[in-house]
Structure 1
Amino acid sequence: MALAYVYIRVLCRYALSYYHSPNMETKLYEASLTGNVQALNALLHQDQLILDRLSLTGFNESPLHIAAMRGHHQFALLLLTQKPKLAVALDSQRRTPLHLASANGYLEMVQELVRVGGRDVCCFRDQDGFTPLHLAAMNEHLEVVKALVQANPDAAKEITETGETILHVCVSYNRMESLKVLMVLWNEEELAKITDHSGNTLLHAAAINKQTRILNFLLRIQSIKDNGNVVNKHGLTALDVLDQCPRDVKSLETRQVLMEAGVLRANDLRPSIPKQLTKSSRNKRKGFLSRTWARYVNNDHHWIEKQRGILIVAALVVAAMSFYSGINPPSKVLPNNTNGRFSYQSEMDDFNQFIVINLFTMITSLAIVLVLISGLPLSNKFLIWLLTVGTLFIMVTMVANYWDSLSNFGPDGYVDLTVVWTCLVMILICGVIALIHTIFFVTWVVIKLLKCGMPETHRKGNQDDAGEV
């Protein structure tokens, strides 16, 4: 009895060692590498469960994966006949045999795998988010692409892990023929609006990858050309995203294609001009005093720069006129000792007075110009006020000197009434402008001093109120 028991145990161990022999599994994978149908039949005759135990092996791919990769059609047919579930088996990268057959362009293999695995196998995605259709399009196997689309059109709608549509993948890989085949699944309006997860259109994708041939093809589609200035989620047009790419010869060619098609940058699309016109109209309605006060209260650096330019021009004009008057004084001002000693002394006094005033006007003008061109930080409102009042003052002295010179020409110091009133009006205007600037400057200083003792919230509120004066 004990001998019989030992005999049975030996037979069982032999059977298990035979059926689970790693040599049979190795032979199976060797047969799949070469596509040896006779060897597969022999292995199936020896062990009908060999395909059922594939899930227990340590191999990364099934024999059908290898056959699909190598294009062994008859070998794959036999495998699918014995075990149809192999059509949806996954390897270590979550690829089905259909992925491998599609990537390599084996049309008959693809058709058989789809027939056995069903239309849903076309939508299986690998670890990178690619379907068999993605891989076929990326490798431009057009017949396989058409077969997969015909089997399941929904496979073309699958999105990759990076958020790209299959059309974006075709553009990225420069597969224009695949793109043409797949574009028929969308109408023209949809093609213009199709985007990836970043909101990039097909034009964005072509610009990023500098695919000029595809760009020219896409821009021949009217709806895409009409929507060429669509911005992505970052507010960038196709021309903007191209500017962010490294510059080379291809980028220059791509930029030319986009610009010829009327594609603009996002900044050129913003309605900045209407806003400026609105602001300008609002400022015109305020009046001179309100605008000047707003410039004093708010830090309007543009106005300060403009004011500096005006002061330089005004000071240079006054300096030039003073210089000319100094070297060419009026003949009546020049002393003449033939008129007697007393008369000569009076003429010398007039001449000296003219020269002193003229020299003061010229030197002050040149000093103002020197300060303005010295590079000093003239954003300080005190300096701007001081230079403005100084320029107005030398204008007054120039007008007064002109008036005095005219009086020396006329008999007994006669000057026409029109000239007198003109000079007086000019002096009065300069005085009024200087007074306005002085009042605004003093008021601004007082407000600044009062704000120093206020909380931050009150300061902001008062500043806003002041800007609306």
Structure 2
Amino acid sequence: MVSERKLYDAVSQGDVTALLELLNNDPYLVDGISFPCSRNLLHIAAMHGQTSLVDALLNLNPRLAWRLDSQKSSPLHIAAAEGHVEICQKLLPVGAPETCFWRDSHDMNPLHVAAMKGRVEVLEYFLQVSPFPAMERLRTGGTVLHLCVKHGQLAALKILVERLGDFVNATDENGETILHLAVRCDQLETTKYLVENKKIEKRIRNSMGKTALAILDESPPGTTRSFLEHRKILLTMRRSSLISLILPSKLTKMTMVVAVLIATVAFQTTVNPPGGVWQDNTSAHKAGDAIIAYSNPKDFKSLILTNTLAFFSSMITIFLIVSGWTTLHSFFSVIAWYSALMSLAAITLSYDVSKKLITSNGKTLDLSSWSFFLRILCLMLLTFIVAGCFFNVLEWYLYWKRKPRQQELLTTGPVLSRFFYRIFLRLDAWCVYVRS
């Protein structure tokens, strides 16, 4: 008992001389002594961050790095939990890389433990050695990312999100991502970070078919400010998801193909118009001139106008995609998308003009003025504005019909939404009156 106490004091205080003196008197103590929780000398040295003692013990008996305590924790688990990165750097080469995968009684490997405790330096070291232990799932189906969110370790979560690629969208046994869990745990800063991060898929539904916003709506009443701030963040996510529906995720692939095809058709129609070109020079025309430019000049002007519009709008789309500007800001994506729509409309009108030119009784529209295209563009813009307002009001109404936190919504939040909520309240009251 005296030797055990002296050994513990020597290891915890980093007294290498005293430790070696005790071990010289009884070499069996290196491997045979056991402290509470079945921990050996290396466990104790790792727990107290005694790097010099760890070196001495590993030189005396490297097998100590493989020993587990009563909680199935290796010395590497202990060092990771305490955040002693230098000790982890000494233990890992001795214990071999597979010790990073060893599970304790809580089904966590050393990297899980470091993430749960927020040991950022240890976590970065483990990820430099190998990212695969971080992708090991817990028995419950959760991941190291879920552990970070559950224990409020935002700094550790940021490191893992940057390093683990698509694994950041992994789900647990309930089909919930870390965004679902952040909302459940009322982690406002974590929710804000996840919504702003482009790697995180925001529209994933859990096994019950619920999004993060639906989980917030069903959460028990808490502080009004926390609920409203969470909802504001998630509604921003909703608006961005609606934009992503309007602007396809494969904009740089499918839109490029369509734009190149339209530009090619417009170019070919311009250099080879319907009816062909004159092959000889006369006093009335020159070789290479379009025949329909003399026989039907008004429709030829409309054809050139529509083809030019289709060609240049397609070129704008191609330029924005090739230059990569569409990935820098959503504004350029909107420009590219509207240019693609304009090229589709123009090439369709060009087909209508060409049909009249090659048929005896074809009818077409008068496209000789730019005001026609301005009216089309204004109509498209007005359609999207009206549709956007309609769907926004519809979203508010459906949210109101679920009746989550009505009093909070009537007294707080944006002025415009409160205005509509009061209208919905009166509408509900009127419907009840009519039914009665």
TM-score by length of 1: 0.48
Q: Which residue of 2 aligns with 1:255?
A: 231
Which residue identity is paired with 1:258? L
Task: Answer whether contact 1:69 1:100 (CA < 8 A) is retained.
Answer: yes
| Correspondence for 1:194 | 170
- Does the CA-based 8 Å contact 1:120-1:152 persist in structure 2? no
1:204 alignment counterpart: 180
Corresponding residue to 2:17 among 38, 41, 51: 38
Counterpart among 72, 97, 120 of residue 119 in structure 1: 97
2:196 corresponds to: 220
Amino acid at match of 2:12: L
Deviations 1:228-252 (A, max 9, x none): 2321112221122223332212233
Give the Cα–Cα distance (whole angstroms) in 2 for the partners of residues 62 and 104 of structure 1: 17
What is aligned with 1:103?
Answer: 81
Distance 1:245 1:219 in 2: 19
Contact 1:101 1:110 in 2 (8 A): yes
Match of 1:239 in 2: 213
Residue 162 (structure 1) aligned with residue 149 (structure 2): no
DSSP 3-state at the match of 1:42? helix
Cα distance in 1 for partners of 2:198, 2:18 equals 59
The structure that has the greater radius of gyration is: 1
- Taking the aligned partners of 2:155 and 2:82, their CA distance within structure 1 comes to 17
Identical counterparts, % of pairs: 37
Check whether the contact 2:148–2:154 (CA below 8 A) recurs between aligned residues. yes
Give 1:48-447 correspondences, 5 Å limit: 48-54=27-33, 60-187=38-165, 189-191=166-168, 193-224=169-200, 227-249=201-223, 250-262=226-238
Q: 1:31 to 1:59 in 2, by over 3 A?
A: farther
Indicate the residue corresponding to 2:279 in structure 1. Answer: none
**CA–CA distance in structure 1, aligned partners of residues 128 and 59 of structure 2:** 24
Deviation at 1:59, TM superposition (A): 5.7
Measure the CA separation in 1 of the matches of 2:197 and 2:173: 23
* Pair 1:206–1:60, CA change in 2 (3 A): same
Amino acid corresponding to residue 206 of structure 2 in structure 1: N
Q: Does the Cα contact within 8 Å between 2:37 and 2:71 map onto a contact in 1?
A: no
**Runs (5+) with no aligned partner, structure 2:** 242-430
Counterpart amino acid of 1:253?
Answer: E
CA distance in 2, matches of 1:49, 1:204: 53
After superposition, what is the alpha-carbon deviation per residue over 1:363-383, rounded to whole angstroms, capped at 9, x for unaligned?
xxxxxxxxx97xxxxxxxxxx
C-alpha distance in structure 2 between counterparts of 1:67 and 1:44, whole Å: 15
Q: Secondary structure at the match of 1:64?
A: helix
- CA–CA separation in structure 2 for the residues paired with 1:196 and 1:42: 52
Q: 1:44 & 1:106 partners in 2: Cα distance?
A: 25
* Kept after mapping to 1: 8 A contact 2:12/2:48: yes
Q: Is the 8 A contact 1:33 1:66 kept in 2?
A: yes
| SS of the residue 2:134 aligns to | helix
Deviations 1:30-71 (A, max 9, x none): 32222221111112211222223236x776211111111111
Tell whether the 8 Å contact from 2:195 to 2:237 is kept in structure 1 after alignment.
yes
Q: Is this contact kept in 2: 1:122–1:152, CA < 8 A?
A: no
Question: CA offsets per residue over residues 236-292 of structure 1, 9 Å max, x none?
Answer: 21122223332212233212211221189xxxxxxxxxxxxxxxxxxxxxxxxxxxx
Structure 1 residue 25 corresponds to structure 2 residue 4: yes
The CA deviation at 1:223 is 5.0
Please state how far the C-alpha of 1:124 moved relative to its aligned partner: 1.6
Contact map agreement 2:37 2:70 (CA 8 A) in 1: no
Q: How many residues align?
A: 243
CA RMSD, Structure 1 to Structure 2 (Å)? 2.6
- State the Cα deviation string for residues 50-104 of structure 1 (Å, max 9, x = none): 223236x776211111111111111111111111111121112111111121111
Measure the CA separation in 1 of the matches of 2:130 and 2:47: 22
* Closer/same/farther in 2, CA of residues 39 and 223 from structure 1, 3 Å limit: closer
Q: Quick one: structure 1 residues 79 and 257, their matched pair in 2 at CA, closer, same or farther if it must change by over 3 Å?
A: same
The whole-number CA distance in structure 1 between the counterparts of 2:67 and 2:230 is 44
In structure 2, what is the Cα distance between the partners aligned to 1:48 and 1:223?
A: 55
Whether the aligned pair in 1 keeps the contact of 2:31 and 2:40 (CA below 8 Å) is: no
SS class of match (1:181): helix
Letter in 2 for 1:238: A
The 3-state SS of whatever aligns with 1:252 is helix
The amino acid of 1:216's aligned partner reads K
AA aligned to 1:39 is A
Report how far residue 190 of structure 1 moved: 4.4
- Cα distance in 2 between the residues matched to 1:49 and 1:232: 55
Shift in alpha-carbon separation, 1:59–1:139, aligned structure 2, 3 A: closer
CA distance in structure 1 between the partners assigned to 2:238 and 2:37 by the alignment: 56
